[in-house]
Amino acid sequence: MLFHDRSEAGQELAVRLVERAADGDLVDPVVLALPRGGVPVAVPVARALSVPLDVLVARKIGLPGQPETGIGAIVGDDPPQFDRRAVEMLGLSEDRLGPEVARERSELRRRERLYRGERSAPDVRDRVVILIDDGLATGVTARAALRHLRRQGPARLILAVPVSAAETAATMRSEADEIVCLHQPPHFRAVGLWYDDFGQVGDDEVIETLREHNAPASRR
Query: What residues pair up with 129 in beta bridges, in sequence order?
Result: 30, 157
Assess whether 14 and 96 both reside in one domain.
no
Assess whether 171 and 197 both reside in one domain.
yes
CA distances from 168 to 116, 179, 196 (A): 30, 11, 22
Q: Does an H or E element contain 171, and which?
A: helix 166-172
CA pair distance 16, 179, nearest whole angstrom? 12
Model confidence at 166: pLDDT above 70: yes
Assess whether 78 and 65 both reside in one domain.
yes
Instruction: Classify residue 68: in a domain, yes or no.
Output: yes
CA pair distance 39, 25, nearest whole angstrom? 24
Residue-wise pLDDT for 178-196, tens only, equals 999 999 999 999 999 999 9
Assess whether 131 and 98 both reside in one domain.
no
Assess whether 89 and 177 both reside in one domain.
no
> Residue 71: which of 145, 140, 170 has the closest Cα?
140
Neighbours of 143 (CB within 10 A): 24
Instruction: Classify residue 1: in a domain, yes or no.
Output: no
| pTM for the full predicted model | 0.93
Assess whether 101 and 179 both reside in one domain.
no
Instruction: Classify residue 173: in a domain, yes or no.
Output: yes
CA pair distance 127, 123, nearest whole angstrom? 8
Q: What is the pLDDT of residue 8?
A: 98
Assess whether 33 and 127 both reside in one domain.
yes
Assess whether 107 and 196 both reside in one domain.
no
- Please state the length of the chain: 220
Assess whether 171 and 203 both reside in one domain.
yes
CA pair distance 83, 218, nearest whole angstrom? 47
Assess whether 82 and 167 both reside in one domain.
no
Instruction: Classify residue 204: in a domain, yes or no.
Output: yes
SS3 for 71? strand
Assess whether 38 and 130 both reside in one domain.
yes
Residue-wise pLDDT for 205-220, tens only, equals 999 999 999 887 545 4
Looking at the 3D structure of the chain, how many domains does it have?
2
Residue 90, CA atoms < 13 Å, CB-side half-sphere: 18
Instruction: Classify residue 43: in a domain, yes or no.
Output: yes
Note down the domain range covering 83.
60-114
Strand locations in the chain, DSSP E? 30-33, 53-55, 58-63, 66-75, 81-82, 128-132, 156-163, 178-183
Task: Output 57 or 119, whichever has higher pLDDT.
Answer: 57
Residue-wise pLDDT for 32-84, tens only, equals 999 999 999 999 999 999 999 999 999 999 887 777 778 899 999 999 999 88
Among 114, 131, 149, where does a domain finish? 114
Assess whether 181 and 123 both reside in one domain.
yes
